[in-house]
Amino acid sequence: MQIENNMIRRRQKRLVPPKRAISVAFATSLAHDGGKFLPVAARPVPKDDNAPPNTLNQLVTTFDSDRSLAGFMFDVKAKQPIAIHSMDINAVKTSQDVRIEVWTKQGSFEGDEQREDAWTLWANDTIIGNGLDVPTAIPPEIVVPINVSPNERRAFYISFPDGAYLRYSTNANGELDYTNADLILYSNGAAKRKGFEGNAIAPRLFSGALHY
């Protein structure tokens, strides 16, 4: 496993639902395809005021990774009105809960890679990594769904404050964006060391899936 270095910076800002410890249950269906595991269905979620439909749509990039670091930034753009409920990431296997943060902002991440004040904290909780190149869920019950309007561009920053647990791919090419009838996930993302300090490493490809 190759790691593209490490540093840390912390500053408290909490704009998400109250933090609570969770025990993550993973029920994403998997299909084996030439040595790769790909998610084929999103799991149902408990009913509450923000509950998504029983079956969510999804856009998957790849679960074929070749690098690890503590954070990753990427952009999406909606073609139709959508609400993003959760995501799957590619995380190394962990023996215990590790803290994860997911930040978001309107517009592209480019130009705001080092500006924490430009971002809103969307998820702040703990998860257990499922292991190399299989989905690890960020459950919808720990976030508030994000509504995205047609032609709106939105950025996400996934960050593990305590280690280089996040997997991604160096096989990034702006001509190989991931798209379906509802949205585009741009392939020219950026890997980050811990926090918002330090330069982004780009272009890099997000390894994971969005559920909406």
pLDDT tens digits for the chain (212 residues)? 555 543 333 333 444 444 443 333 333 333 333 333 333 333 333 334 444 456 899 999 999 999 999 999 999 999 999 999 999 999 999 999 999 999 999 999 999 999 999 999 999 999 999 999 999 999 899 999 999 999 999 999 999 999 999 999 998 765 689 999 999 999 999 999 989 999 999 999 999 999 99
Distances (CA, A) of 1 to 117, 183, 185, 187: 32, 32, 26, 22
Question: Can you give the pLDDT at residue 69?
Answer: 97
Do 92 and 167 contact (CB within 8 A), yes or no?
yes
Residue 189: beta bridge partners? Answer: 204
- Could you give the CA distance from residue 8 to residue 145 in angstroms, rounded to a whole number? 28
- Could you give the CA distance from residue 205 to residue 5 in angstroms, rounded to a whole number? 17
Q: Tokens standing for 189?
A: 């993302």
Question: Can you give the pLDDT at residue 190?
Answer: 97
Question: Can you give the pLDDT at residue 112?
Answer: 98
With residues binned 3-state (H G I as helix, E B as strand, rest as coil), the percentages for the chain, rounded to 5, are 5, 40, 55
pTM summary value: 0.76
